[in-house]
Amino acid sequence: MKSELFLKLVLILAVTLTGCSGGNAESAAPQTQTATDTATPEPTAPSLATETLPPAVEETVPAPVEFALASSAFEAGQQIPARYTCDGEDISPPLAWSGAPEGTESFALILDDPDAPIGTFTHWVLFNLPADLNELAEGASSEAALGPHQGKTSWGKTGYGGPCPPSGVHRYIFTLYAVDSLLDLPGGASKKELLSALEGHTLAQAELIGLYGNR
């Protein structure tokens, strides 16, 4: 009995030692470490958004030249000096213009008083002024060279008739026309005839308004 018990104890001890031995071997086994390779980033193309671009060059477009009419004797919307009216020497005022459009072959001009008691009264009619002309000197209406280019006023006379309102302040409107041809009109033509001839031939208009009368 004692021998059998001793053998059993020896066997149990052997099994126990074997188990411990196996655990130690397992734990003693070298552990495999996974090496982590460091990936080298690939070069990237520069972003177009971050590139420095040269500043844009803005094209300068010239502003269109305005067809304009003016007088050195008075400002637009201001009083016309008495010198150019029936209360003075009754001579035509100096006029100058600029910015005529391309294709202009002649100029025409009408001076009206839209405030006259009887309706619009015409004080001056001009037509077929040379295309290279850009001004009329003071008193130009009395020059012989301008004679064939002047029409009749509402008084029935050829040439210039200055402002002469019966009462109140009136507007006097100088309207200059840039025309694409010479007009087939005789000297002394009426305003109505001129306006009819201008139909379809006016390239541009410029206006100057002066005032005159009792305030």
Q: Give a yes or no: residue 183 inside a domain.
A: yes
178 in any annotated domain: yes
Nearest-angstrom CA–CA distance, 168 and 171: 10
Predicted local distance difference test score (pLDDT) of residue 79? 98
Per the structure, how many domains does the chain have? 1
Instruction: Flag whether 164 is in a domain.
Output: yes
Domain annotation covers residue 30: no
Does a structural domain hold residue 29?
no
What the block records as the tokens of 70 is 């003016």
158 lies in a domain?
A: yes
What pLDDT score does 24 carry? 46
**pLDDT tens digits, one per residue of 96-149:** 999 999 999 999 999 999 999 999 999 999 999 999 999 999 999 998 888 899
First to last CA, the chain: 157
User: Within the chain, which residues score under 50 in pLDDT?
Assistant: 2, 15, 17, 20, 23-36
Q: What was the pLDDT predicted at 32?
A: 46
For residue 106, give Cα distances in angstroms to 109, 117, 182, 207.
10, 33, 6, 17
- Give the CATH number of the domain where residue 176 resides: 3.90.280.10
Give the model's pLDDT for residue 180.
Answer: 98
- The range of the structural domain enclosing residue 86 comes to 68-213
Please indicate, yes or no, if residue 48 is contained in any of the structural domains: no
User: Residue 52: what pLDDT?
Assistant: 64
| Whether the Cβ atoms of residue 117 and residue 166 lie closer than 8 Å to each other | yes
* pLDDT computed for residue 57 by the predictor: 62
pLDDT at residue 26, rounded to an integer: 45
Separation of alpha carbons 76 and 207, rounded Å: 9
Model pLDDT, residue 147 = 85
- Asked whether residue 27 is domain-assigned, the answer is no
State which amino acid sits at residue 120: T
106 neighbors 131 (Cβ within 8 angstroms): yes
